Amino acid sequence: MIRLASWIVGSLIIAALAAWMISLPGTLTLEVAGYRMQPRLGAAVFIFIVVAIVVIFVWAIVRRIISAPRAMARRSRERRREQGVEALSDAMIALQAGDPARARALARDAQARLPSNAAAKLLEARADLALGDMPAAREHYRALIASDQTALAALTGLYDQASAQQRPDAALTFARKALNLAPNSGWAAEAVFDDLSRRGQWADAVAMVNAEQAVSREDRARKRRRQAVIETARAREAEASAPLEALEHALTALKLLPDFVPAALIAARIHINRGDTRKAMSLLRRIWRATGHPDIAALYAHAQPGASAVDRLKRMGEIIETPPPHRAAGMALARAAIDAYDWSLARNALAPFEGPDATQGVASLMAEIEEGQNGDQGKAREWLARAVRAPRDPVWTADGMVSDEWEPVSPVTGRLDAFEWKVPMTATMTASARTGEGQPAQLPSQAALPLAPAQNPT
């Protein structure tokens, strides 16, 4: 309604202006080629306007005819570009849908229509990689490295190709080049960091972690844990040759993760070896209250070198309540009681955990109690048979492998902080022999003492 009213008002104004011009007084004399015209002033203005409109219209037609070839060429380029973009989109969809052959054909079509489009070249290289045409993919990626715009993406593709071909050295080379080009490249940083961890180059690894920019709370926690694991690995490596340096690394790890069991065990062992038994026991008591880890209890019992089995049992009673609050505490107390021939205490310690859900460790200890206290071979064999079928106890597990000691990296994949204290999913064991579930007969040597799991037992 408003538009209609505006159109009517505008028409009336134009008509009034035209009428006003035509009614203007005076005449205008025009002489052209012997012809003379003397129209009124208003009519002359009107004729001039009409002629100007005609000239503009004719010129527009002429200009359209002159520029027609250029416009057709531009339209052809636009159509070609639209077809190239459509082919590129279809190629990406085909690659994601698992049809690399069609994706490569469409990528080549897109590249023919869009010669300067880097995405088409990258997509063709990715399709070659998916098809297993490694030489073609390598040539495409190497050609793209020369451009700053596509160098990082090309290095990513070359890294994926080298990883697929099981060429770790080449993959690492590409990751290092990518990290030099883009220090914030996540995949390159992870690849270089994993290699440093796998080879035990802890100083370079911790330098990389320290240089990380942690923004969120999760990132900061992840960074602290990585730093603690690396510091513990450095302490573990230097424990025999440089105990003071190892102690410093272990204490640094405990500052980052106050309840990190592996670092606590290393620090406590060094304190014991240096004669600082009080410091070791204080540290172990704190970690035991926080984690309840059985290795903490075992080392606490052996904190005094040369102590008798009875003394170890008394020391164990300092940190374990009666009745034991959880299975790990009950097994640790029972182990110390068996060594001290206190059979009733050992039996009472395991009583809350010898039900239908008794684990292999509980069943094995009960077999020792039956044989040692009563000499009942029958009941001992029953418990041993039950141990075969019983659920396993938590151990240090990483990538399906079980180890007697905590290690900083997985022996299978080389992944940092892979070991967890949990019930293993498989029966795979490491080459190291197990002499029994928590049966230390004397103060273990520095190499024989267990280190600890990567996480607290639950």
Task: State how far the Cα of 48 lies from the Cα of 204, in Å rounded to an integer.
Answer: 86
Separation of first and last alpha carbons in the chain: 77
Reduced to 3 DSSP states, what percent helix, strand and coil does the chain have, rounded to the nearest 5? 65, 5, 30
Helix axes 277-291 and 261-273, enclosed angle (nearest 10):
160
Residue 72 Rama label (left phi>0; alpha psi -120 to 50; beta): alpha
Q: Rounded to whole angstroms, how far apart are CA atoms 10 and 29?
A: 32
Phi, psi dihedral angles at 446 (to 5 degrees): -60, -35
- Read off the pLDDT of residues 302-360 as tens digits, 9 standing for 90 and up: 988 888 999 999 988 888 888 888 999 999 999 999 999 999 999 999 999 988 888 99
Q: For residue 217, what is the DSSP state?
A: H
Query: CA 41 to CA 62: how far, in whole Å?
Result: 32
Q: How many helices (H) does the chain have, and how many strands (E)?
A: 20, 5
Q: Please enumerate in sequence order all residues whose Cβ is within 8 A of that of 279, keeping only pairs 6 or more positions apart, or say none.
A: 271
DSSP 285-330: HHHHHHH--HHHHHHHHTSSTT--HHHHHHHHHHHS-SS-SSHHHH
Integer Cα distance of 292 and 208 in angstroms: 33
pLDDT recorded at residue 455: 39
Position 435 scores a pLDDT of 35
Task: At 219, list the tokens.
Answer: 């990132």
Collect all residues with Cβ–Cβ distance below 8 Å to 208 and sequence separation of at least 6.
189, 192, 193, 196
The domains of the chain, with CATH numbers, are 81-198 (1.25.40.10)
| Nearby residues of 344 by Cβ (< 8 Å), 6 or more positions away | 373
Sign of CA dihedral 331, 332, 335, 338: negative
The helix/strand/coil state of 421 is strand
- The sheet with strand 420-422 has its strands ordered as 401-403, 395-398, 420-422
Q: For residue 434, what is the DSSP state?
A: P
Q: Which two tokens stand for residue 345?
A: 């205490």
pLDDT in tens, the chain (458 residues): 788 888 888 888 877 877 776 666 767 676 766 777 777 667 777 777 788 889 898 988 888 888 888 878 888 878 888 887 888 788 888 877 888 888 888 888 887 887 777 777 777 777 877 777 778 777 777 777 767 777 887 787 778 777 777 777 778 888 888 877 777 777 788 888 888 888 888 888 888 888 887 788 888 899 999 999 999 999 999 999 999 999 999 999 999 999 999 999 999 999 999 989 999 999 999 999 999 999 999 999 998 888 899 999 998 888 888 888 899 999 999 999 999 999 999 999 999 998 888 899 999 999 999 988 888 889 899 999 998 988 999 999 998 888 888 999 998 888 898 999 998 875 444 433 333 333 333 333 333 333 333 333 32
One-character DSSP codes across 350-373: HGGG-STT--HHHHHHHHHHIIII
Let me know how long the chain is.
458
H helix intervals, 97-185: 100-113, 118-131, 134-145, 151-164, 168-181
Q: Which residues make beta-bridge pairs with 35?
A: 32
Burial level of 53, CB count in 10 A (0-12/13-18/19+)? Answer: exposed
Per-residue pLDDT, 212:
80
Q: Measure the CA–CA gap between 111 and 93, rounded to whole angstroms.
A: 16
Residue closest to 449 by CA, chosen among 322, 270, 260, 285 = 270
Confidence (pLDDT) at 253: 94
Report d(CA 384, CA 151) in Å as an integer.
63
φ and ψ at residue 148, rounded to 5 degrees? -65, -30
Question: What token pair was written down for 167?
Answer: 């060429």
Tell me how crowded residue 359 is: count the other CB atoms within 10 A of its CB: 20
Supply the pLDDT for residue 22.
66
Rounded distance between C-alpha atoms, residue 402 and residue 418, angstroms: 11
pLDDT at 28: 65
